[in-house]
Structures are given as structure tokens and as C-alpha cells.
Amino acid sequence: MAFKVIKPGLLALIQDLGRHGHQSIGLTTGGPMDEVAFRWGNALLDNHDNSPQIEITFGMLTLEAQADTSVAITGADLGATLNDRSITPWQTYAIKKGDILAFHQPVWGLRAYLAVKGGFLCEPTLGSVATVMREKIGGLTGKGDKLQKGDRLIYQAGTEHQQRSVPRLAIPDYSQTEIPVILGYQYQSFSVLERANFFSSDYKVSSNSDRMGYRLEGQEVHSNLKGIISEGIAYGAIQIPKDGQPIVLLQDRQTIGGYPKMGCVTRVGGSILAQQKPGDIIQFTPITVDQAEQERHLQMARLAQWR
């Protein structure tokens, strides 16, 4: 049984936690831009952590259910409706055959996640269904396509439904504008003044931002290094190109690059960043590796405890 795609929306992609272990041949990971929301979606339905979901960017997606099931919606509030009745994210909903589930436009945040009981059934490529359009890999077709009108999103039909919602305190605040940055390496190649500028300035999210990276506009920063020998790029790395405008490299990032880096945003920070729209203003705030470890453990413990 399946959801039939009535309107494909701006950008709706099948995602799981990503395709790992192939970066040595240059293949990026993909995966949910807001990993926090993704993990909660599967937790709400008692799915595996890695069960495939739909990442809906902006909205304008309409689905028709062809069988009963239970879904969870997390992440952004995209003005979703179930049979024209408004519904809010961060909880589960019972779906009956013939129901129309629609995501309209952002009310709060940018990317919503639709999880279904048992996960969407989809053939993995290299161990993952994560869609990376640039590399033509993953998704329903295995060829990196976004959802198209008429696509069928297969799930195991069932009438079992549990009304559950994420505890209010665990729901991320997408109006938070401070993005934590781990000062791990290479930040010493920026002078104290450059670092102070970077961490005290407002940056505007550029309209050139996508799943590969978020480009920011604001105070220029410059490294003492002219360039570096190309090296592996970690999730969240903040690359500073020659024009001094930072780029935060996210799920669909290139695997190697030769620009100096100010640091790395955390998964939690990257999840908040990915909910910002072009024109939104953010600031960076420095944290240490052990603070990042604690933040991560807290997040994972909350999920585990709740499950």
C-alpha cells in the first residue's frame, strides 16, 4: 500500500541517516538536513533509527493514502492539513484509506519530516535510500530523483495507531539564531581579530544555500593561510573561501576541498541551521569538542529514555 503523490511539492526527498563508508571514492553521504527531527519521527512510531522518511522542503506537497497507517510529522510547521483540517508537527496521526495529507507553506522552519509506521519501503543503493540528486543516487528510483507526481510511497498497511507527541522541552526552537561551532582545528590560522569578527557578527543566509551547503553573507573573514592542500571535509565544516564569506558544508557536501576552515557546526546546530530560510539572520558561537560531546549525549539520551 502507498501514499500516492498528487502534488510533488518544491523538493521532497526520501532520506535515511545517510550512505556511509564511500567517501573515500568521493561519494557524499546525503541524509536528513535536520537529523534531530528525523530521529524523533522514527522514535514516535517506534521505527528503527534509520527507517526511510520523506524530507519536505518548503511544502506544496499533497499525498493521498491508499491504506490505513500511522504517521509522525516532525521538523518545520509547513501548514500541514489532514483532509483540510490543520495539524501540527511533533506528533503522530492515524491515517485512513482515502485521507489527503498536504503540506502547504512554511509557518515555522523550512523542512518537515514525514515518517510512516515501519518506514517507507524503498530499495537501497549502496546500503542506503538517501537521495542525493547531484550524484543521481538513492530515492524511489535509485537514480536520485525527487518525488514526482504519481509516485507511490510504499508502506506496510496497518490499523495500529498510538497517539504520541514529543515532549515540549525536547522540541527544538527554530527561532534560535545562535549556531554552535566546534573550534577543533585550523581556527588558529585566523587571527584573533578575524575570529572575534566571525563570532560577533550577524550572518544572513544566502539564497544560494542548499543541501550541499549554507552560504552566508556578512562580515568577511580571512585566514592567514593562502590555501591548503585538499583534505577531507567533515559534516558541518565552515569553509572560508577567498571572498571571506563563510560556507557551512552539510549533508550533500563535496568530500574533499582546499579552503581553510573556521570550525565545524554540530549535528544539533546544523539541524537548526537547515531550518533557516534565505534572508534569515544567524550568529556563530564557539564551543569545545567536549561541550559538543555532551550536547550529543544529552540529545541521544533524551531519545533513548523516551523510547
Partner 1 sequence: MSRDDFPSIDMVSNQACLLTFSQVISEATSNYIAQVTQELVTLAGIVDLVPSYTTLLVVFDDDHYDRFAIFKTIRQTIEAIDPTKFSLKDQREVVIPVYYGKEVGPDIEDVAKHCNLSVDEVIKRHCETTYRAYAIGFTPGFAFLGNTPDELHVPRKTTPRLKVPIGSVALAENQTAVYPSITPGGWQIIGRTPVNLIDWGSKNLALIAMGDSVRFEPISRDEFLVQGGQLDGF
Where do contacts with partner 1 occur on this chain (CB under 8 A)?
A: 20-27, 29, 125-126, 135, 137, 182, 184-186, 229-237, 254-257, 264, 266-267, 289-290, 292-293, 296, 300
Q: How far apart are CA 38 and CA 16, in angstroms?
A: 8
Cα first-last separation, the chain: 27
Question: What are the backbone dihedrals phi and psi of residue 245, each rounded to the nearest 5 degrees, phi first?
Answer: -95, 120
Contact between 58 and 299 (Cβ < 8 Å) = no
Q: How far apart are CA 53 and CA 36, in angstroms?
A: 13
3-class DSSP assignment, residue 273: helix
Distances, alpha carbon 168 to alpha carbons 74, 91, 164, 178, in Å: 12, 11, 12, 20
Q: Give the CA angle between residues 222, 295, 234 to the nearest 5°.
A: 45
The alpha carbon of 9 is separated from its chain's Cα centroid by a whole number of angstroms, namely 17
